[in-house]
Amino acid sequence: MKKIILSIILIIALFSTVQAQEVKPEPVKQFMQITTVESVVAGGLGRSKIIITHPDGTQKDSDLNNLFSMTGINFKNIKENEDNLVKTLKTYTDEGWKLEQVTSLTLSQNDSGAGGIFMTRYLLSRPDVKKGF
C-alpha cells in the first residue's frame, strides 16, 4: 500500500513539474503608433500629416499630400501618400516591429458633409529587449 501511495505522490509531483515548465510568461512588448490624417477639404486647402508616436512618447510628424486639389480628387497625391505610408511601415517592420491593429475613421466637419478627414491608426509592437524577454 505504501508503494502505491508513494507512486501516486511521485506521479503528481512529476506532472506538476512538467505543467509548471510549460507555462511561459507573456513577453513584455513595446508599442508604437503611426497615424495618418488625410484632409478632405475641397480646393487642396486642408492639411494632411503622418504622425509617428515612439514607445518613449516622442513624436515625429511629416506632411502628406491633400486628397483634393482645385479640380477634385487628386489621384497623384493619393498614390504619393500610399507610397510614403508603405515605405514608413516597411522601415519599421524591417526593424522588427509587427503590425498589431489598424483602426480607421472618418469625420465630417458639418452636417452637409463638406470637408472632413480620413484618419487611420496603425498600432505596432515588438518584444522589449531591454526587459530581457
Closest to 53 measured CA to CA, from 104, 122, 102:
122
As a whole-number percent, the residues of the chain with pLDDT over 90 amount to 47
Cα distances from 21 to residues 26, 70, 78, 127, in angstroms, run: 14, 65, 52, 21
Mean pLDDT over all residues of the chain? 83
**Which grid coordinates belong to 1?**
500500500
pLDDT (mean) for 71-81: 88
Domain ranges of the chain: 29-131
Predicted confidence (pLDDT) at residue 54 exceeds the cutoff of 80:
yes
pLDDT (mean) for 28-56: 88
Predicted confidence (pLDDT) at residue 46 exceeds the cutoff of 50:
yes
When comparing pLDDT for 111 and 104, which is higher?
104
CA 77 to chain centre: 24
Predicted confidence (pLDDT) at residue 133 exceeds the cutoff of 50:
no
pTM of this prediction? Answer: 0.73
